[in-house]
Chains A and B, each alone.
Chain A
């Protein structure tokens, strides 16, 4: 086996090889292999049901993939991977700041750090509000703040912009970009293709449980001979627009 002698910028933070997963008889992921590199925003796009959330959950370690291997190669850290789940939820009965401070205390962060994280996602004004009184979009912002606690070398965000207004969505993608400037790797899934096109260094187009395209937004567009990522999305995915492909059933 080839042994790496030095950890360089080229060493991927995360390596997936031939990852596969099934729910019962339904294959959700099939032979997925790719690397995540530090300092990059990698965006996973693809139709609903393509397996994005399943893949992210496997990376975070919420379930073991049935097949293949996922390996974290990034620097040692008290919290290697930060995670925003698709439907973030906080235990009721605490304020936003208390919630973030709680997660911070797990990695020796102070209340001041919590303030800074809330500031970064624009939630400072809501810091003292009870988490159960947040609107859907604000809950997601608090979830993003939670995902960055402890400065993990890999930040995984499952649909960070879903339910956010256009201004906030832009801001969240900017936050993702800021994270990579400090050397972190960001892996996110999104349906907002315009923002992905603007922000992502690399796009993985997931379709039918496999990686259908992999490359920079410009490369994918030129490969498919289209103008925008939205056109690429429509050209590359197997299902027809407006029909729901149901995996494992003959639709």
Chain B
């Protein structure tokens, strides 16, 4: 059997699992409600695609990691974990990891992308006259920009999904699985910005380096890329971020996370740590016993 085939079979099962989990569908409906609420308050929808994207940017920075964590944190545990059995099939670990990631990513794309497409369609109906024109030149609103926005959002989702999967593999079989997944969420949402902010105020990051430093955090990189390639096209106000650094940063997080999944899958890092501690403790105990014996002797 070709490697590709195993990947496809695993990805398909993963996607079906997502589709058949009702709470994920609810999540998607919830997203749509939030989008509608945000846009009603902010009013961007009447202004066209780019104002809509600007209004949705901040909520998405929080909601996409949330969806990614929900999809990723149990990918290899509980009843989703049949690796003892899969081991007896000609399925490489790479195909398994890639398949699980791909299937869940397609699920995420549906959960997040569906409501966004719905919003895009709504803009085409109620947005300003410019919104009905496909324009590619600078300074004009266009559905193409919104598609670009969706694509960037999904790329961001892919990165955070991989991170959530990596953490879930590292801490599985321990009580901390969900807590750790949520820690990823917080780190992604606030961590990068916080580090940049701290660096800035401490004076260790100069202003011209800020764009690069910000690009390292997934959230800031996503925000920067949206501002650069969606909003910036219309407003001619760009250079918010170092684009190559942002792309490299997102790619790096994705790659490293998937590597962690790949390496962590057959080992139980949490358990290894615990065993090491146990051994250290029993050694310590023995040493103390020896010391006591020697004192007596």
A/B touching: CB–CB < 8 A? yes
Chain A residues close to B by CB (< 8 Å): 91-93, 132
7 pairs of residues in contact across A and B, judged by CB atoms under 8 Å? A91-B175, A92-B173, A92-B174, A92-B175, A93-B174, A93-B175, A132-B173
- B positions within 8 Å CB-CB of A: 173-175
Which residue of A is nearest B271, CB measured?
A: A132
Bound Cα distance A91, B175 (Å): 8
Residues in B with CB closer than 8 Å to A92 are 173-175
Question: For the complex, what is the distance from the CA of A132 to the CA of B174, rounded to whole Å?
Answer: 10
Q: Which residues of A contact B173 (CB under 8 A)?
A: 92, 132
Docked CA distance A136–B172 (Å): 20
Residues of B within 8 A of A132 (CB): 173
Task: Report the Cα distance A93→B173, complex, angstroms.
Answer: 9
Which residue from chain A places its CB closest to the CB of B278 in the assembled complex? A130
Interface of B is mostly: loop
Taken together as a complex, chains A and B put the C-alpha atoms of A49 and B173 apart, in Å, by 31
Of all chain B residues, the one with the shortest Cβ separation from A130 is B274
Shortest distance from the beta carbon of B270 to any chain A beta carbon, whole Å: 9
Given the complex of chains A and B, what is the CA–CA distance between A93 and B174 in angstroms? 7
Q: What is the distance, in angstroms, from B297's C-beta to the closest C-beta of chain A? A: 28
In the bound complex, what is the Cα–Cα distance between A128 and B194 (angstroms)?
A: 44
- Kindly list chain A residues whose C-beta atoms are within 8 Å of the C-beta of B175: 91-93
Q: How many whole Å from A126's CB to the nearest CB in chain B?
A: 16
- The answer for the CA separation of A143 and B36 in the assembled complex, in Å, is 50
- In the complex, how many angstroms separate the beta carbon of B22 from the nearest chain A beta carbon? 15
Residues in A whose Cβ lies below 8 Å from that of B174: 92-93
Bound-state Cα–Cα, A91 to B173, Å = 10
Bound Cα distance A76, B173 (Å): 38
Give Cα A108 to B174, complex, Å.
28
In angstroms, how far is the closest chain A Cβ from the Cβ of B82? Answer: 16
In the assembled complex, the CB of B273 is this many whole angstroms from the nearest CB of chain A, namely 12
Complex Cα distance, B271 from A92, in Å, reads 11
In the complex, A92→B173 CA distance in Å?
A: 7
Rounded to whole angstroms, the CA-CA distance of A209 and B173 in the bound complex is: 37
The 6 closest A-B pairs by CB, nearest first: A93-B175, A92-B173, A93-B174, A91-B175, A92-B174, A92-B175
Given the complex of chains A and B, what is the CA–CA distance between A129 and B173 in angstroms? 16
Return A2 CB to nearest CB of chain B, in Å. Answer: 47
> How far apart are B191's CB and chain A's nearest CB, in angstroms?
27
The closest CB in chain A to the CB of B176 belongs to: A93
- Whole-angstrom CA separation of A92 from B274 in the bound complex: 12
Q: Residue of B at shortest CB range from A132?
A: B173
Measured in the bound complex, the distance between the Cα atoms of B278 and A93 in whole Å is: 12
Q: How far is the CA of A132 from the CA of B175 in the complex (A)?
A: 12
- Complex CA gap A162/B168 in Å reads 32
Bound-state Cα–Cα, A92 to B177, Å: 12
Contacts of A93 in B (CB 8 A): 174-175
B36 to chain A: closest CB distance in Å?
A: 34
Query: How distant is the Cα of A92 from the Cα of B174 in the complex, in angstroms?
Result: 6
- How many whole Å from B76's CB to the nearest CB in chain A? 16
How far is A93 from B172 in the complex, measured between Cα atoms in Å?
Answer: 12
A93 to B270 CA separation, bound complex (whole angstroms):
11
Chain A's nearest CB lies how many Å from the CB of B78?
11
Measured between alpha carbons, how far is A91 from B177 in the docked complex, in Å? Answer: 13
In the complex, how many angstroms separate the beta carbon of B143 from the nearest chain A beta carbon?
A: 44
CA A93 – CA B175 in complex, angstroms? 7
- Measured CB to CB, the nearest residue on chain B to A91 is B175
**Complex Cα gap A235–B173 (Å):** 46
Minimum CB–CB distance from A132 to chain B (whole Å) comes to: 7
CA distance A111 to B173 in the complex (A): 26
CA distance A92 to B268 in the complex (A): 14
